[in-house]
Amino acid sequence: MTPFLLFILFVISQRIAELFLARRNEKILKAQGAFEFDKNGYFIIVIMHTSFFVSLIFEKLFLNRTLNKYWIILAIFFLLAQILRYWVIKTLGIYWNTKILALPKHKLTKTGPYKYLKHPNYLVVIIEIAVIPMIFSCYITAVVFSMFNILLLRRRVRLEESALEVAC
């Protein structure tokens, strides 16, 4: 199996494991009275992330993209993003989720990476959407999905801020 396919399978496996964790956390939070914001918007995010992987695979295979000559630097950015991702997940515990869930009277987290950044997980997503395709010289996927991701995240941050105002 090629390094590309191994890498993509690794990332997709991570995302699937995270979806199971998010589902477990969602059940716990909803049992405590949490409510979900923007169900329809979540569906768009799922479509975008799924399309990202499809585009990446097609661009790599059908346009015969090669490993970027700066792949080591890009891989370091990817690894740093992973460290930040798992720091976020550990810091938030059961409050980490892929959906916008608001728990009434819950205090905003201000520890871990939230001590330094308001939305550190979104920084991770921005880095990944740009860097993963760049490692394999998939420039079309990197540019198109980075732009689409920024648009979705701008909307999502506004909605998340609204949800936090209502809940806290």
- Mean pLDDT throughout 124-144? 98
pTM to 2 decimals?
Answer: 0.92
Closest CA to 129 of 119, 117, 144: 144
Class of domain 3-167: mainly alpha
- Structure letter (DSSP) for residue 95: G
| Sequence spans of domains, the chain | 3-167
HSE, side-chain direction, 13 A CA sphere, residue 115: 6
What's the pLDDT band for 105 if we cut at 50, 70, 90? confident
Query: What would the pLDDT profile of 14-54 be if each residue is shown by its tens digit?
Result: 999 999 999 999 999 999 999 998 888 899 999 999 999 99
